[in-house]
Chain A
Amino acid sequence: MDLPTFLASLESSGVATKIRNSLYFFPLIEATHVFGLAMVFGTMAIIDFRLLGLASTRRSFRRMASDILKWTWAAFIVTAATGSLMFITNAGVYYHNIFFRTKIVMLALAGINMLVFELTAGRSIDRWDKAASTPLIGRTTAVLSLAIWITIIFLGRWIGFTTTRATVGPEPQINLDNIFPGASEGTTPTAPPNEK
């Protein structure tokens, strides 16, 4: 099966069709996606700031990691699952969207960055577990992690603004600009991409 066929088969799958035909599924899935990524970013940042020696500096890194990272992973699973559900509703469009592609590359980089940490500073935790100052490579991966995840948040938002959500359902198409003429004054009259 070639790629366009595969993407089309995702779009025509029962799950994708159900989401598209519902007034509620896509918004709720997207909202859950935001919740999940807020958890991923927020909990990750706590670890990154510890690595950078900027917060929680007197605490054992190992202890913090074991307290927190399981939740980060749980939230990541929620985010990945909801992200996949959104993707299949309009796979062809998202696949060709440059922000979506960059986001996937960034997710891969986040994974590589984590691997680098595990294989370097992560192997010598015993030596710096309770020290405020962590190895340079640990601090480097922490900065990269923060930068990558913030970029991912921006890219995600840009996907929403550059794609049109596929809707087959009876979504009420109310144009607020017609109701409140003042609202659009000064804006370019181009049709906004779906939302958002």
Chain B
Amino acid sequence: MPAPISGCYVSAQPADAIRRARHFVLLYKEETERLLSSQPQGISPDLALVTGLKSGDQGAMAQLYDRYSSVVYAVALRVLGDTGAAEDVLQEVFLQLWRKPSAFDAARGSLGSWLAVITRNRAIDSLRKRRPETDIEDVVLSVAPDLAGDAERSRAAEKVRGVMGAMSPAQRSALEMAYWQGMSHTEIADKTGEPLGTVKTRIRAGLIALRKAFQT
């Protein structure tokens, strides 16, 4: 607590907080405007389509489905291994987007990446027969590469497979068990007989390795 001066607490913190908040809001608006203005003419950008969802544009929903349903379905099928269950998750994810389009934060990453994360989480919840643990509005992520197009996603997938292939079998296995099977680190440790700390470190190191591959 700051020292009282002439009987009142003098602190620069609230003023700084307001300045920082304004600064961030301005940055956010600038970034949004930049994203909007940088889209090629004649192509419906994700952000414009998401804006369309906010006003109830069903055509925008159809376009977004056509762009991302293959990604969403592939992720759900990989987790669940069952086409019917994967189709249910696909339906649920796009309905969530329809109901809460403002949950997607365009300033933080691509829509495809965000949908992939949402889908994986929903699929794991379904696999483990548990209630959804995370609201889609709480899923905020930061992705450097632009993965909106099929070509970009294909190149990214190739790079990810290369990084995974370069990992030790134990690390790759820990990461895949956690990611695709939704196993907790305790369950992985029980299954592999490895210490809990080792499993945790391997999972994080694996994710960081992926990040580094896309930073170079």
Real complex partners, A and B?
A: no
B residues contacting A by CB (< 8 A) are none
